Amino acid sequence: MKETVKSIQTTVRALADKEIAQHSQRFFKTGKGEYGEGDIFLGIRVPVIRKIAKQYKSMPIQEIVKLLQSKYHEERLLAVILMVNLSKKANEKQQKELYTTYLSNTHKINNWDIIDSSAPDIVGKYLFDKNTKPLYTLANSNSLWEKRISILATFYFIKFNKYEDALKIAEIMLPEEHDLIHKATGWMLREIGNRDIETEEKFLKPHYKSMPRTMLRYAIEKFPETKRKKYLHGEI
């Protein structure tokens, strides 16, 4: 079967579930004034989306880009998962194409689960051995989603014990007001701490009293209880 956007959409939409869709629209805050305002769900669970991605693993990038333009959340999620799957075997030229395509479509990569499923393995992987200036452009963007892409991309670096960019971007994120940025940044700090607690604490000590509370809670989640309470009570 020729793998086109129409064929994959036929497969996906046949699995739509109104009850799951209603729950997802509440969970992903799609109401007026909320971060996911206007997003539309078909009602398909993530494991099902990943299974479909395996069935369409040979879909060309041109068709994936078309899928990424979908009004349906699950189809956009499927598009980035297809891109991640392609990246696993991509050569340098193909990796660059995936990276460029991704950053040209950030207006469609517009919820935290879509970003978290893709930014490390597409943006982070491509920039790993290159100039990381694009991450700082994203970090200073007016777009909530581009900011989250910037910090999540560093997860790829963190996995290889490369922390500098993650820490610099975490510092940029300290004044941010959105909870989704607080959570993402705290998560990356926690991942650093899982590998190098001294490096994480070197960052935390000058900032923990003034950093957003949610960011701090995420960052120290795995600390021993006594130390965690000292951070929370400002006693370090």
pLDDT for the residue 3: 80
Strand partners, 72: 40
What gap in Å lies between CA 230 and CA 44, rounded to an integer?
42
The predicted-structure confidence for 102-143, as pLDDT tens digits, reads as follows 999 999 999 999 999 999 999 999 999 999 999 999 999 999
Helices (H), the chain: 5-13, 18-27, 46-55, 61-68, 73-87, 92-103, 112-116, 119, 125-127, 133-139, 144-159, 164-173, 179-195, 197-207, 213-219, 225-232
pLDDT for the residue 150: 98
Q: What share of the chain in percent tops pLDDT 70?
A: 99
Q: Where in the chain is the domain with CATH 1.25.40?
A: 128-236
Q: Where in the chain is the domain with CATH 1.25.10.90?
A: 1-91
φ, ψ for residue 40, nearest 5 deg: -120, 135
Q: Which CATH architecture has domain 128-236?
A: Alpha Horseshoe (1.25)
- The answer to whether 208 and 236 are in contact (CB under 8 A) is yes
Residue 190, classed as helix, strand or coil, is: helix
pLDDT score of 1 more than 80: no
Q: Mean of the per-residue pLDDT values for the chain?
A: 96
The predicted-structure confidence for 34-63, as pLDDT tens digits, reads as follows 999 999 999 999 999 999 999 999 899 999
Which pair of tokens denotes residue 220?
């120290």
Closest CA to 44 of 17, 79, 7: 17
Q: What is the mean pLDDT of residues 59-82?
A: 97
pLDDT confidence bin for 65, thresholds 50/70/90 = very high
pLDDT for the residue 2: 67
Which CATH number applies to 1-91?
Answer: 1.25.10.90
- The answer to whether 151 and 120 are in contact (CB under 8 A) is no
pLDDT confidence bin for 176, thresholds 50/70/90 = very high
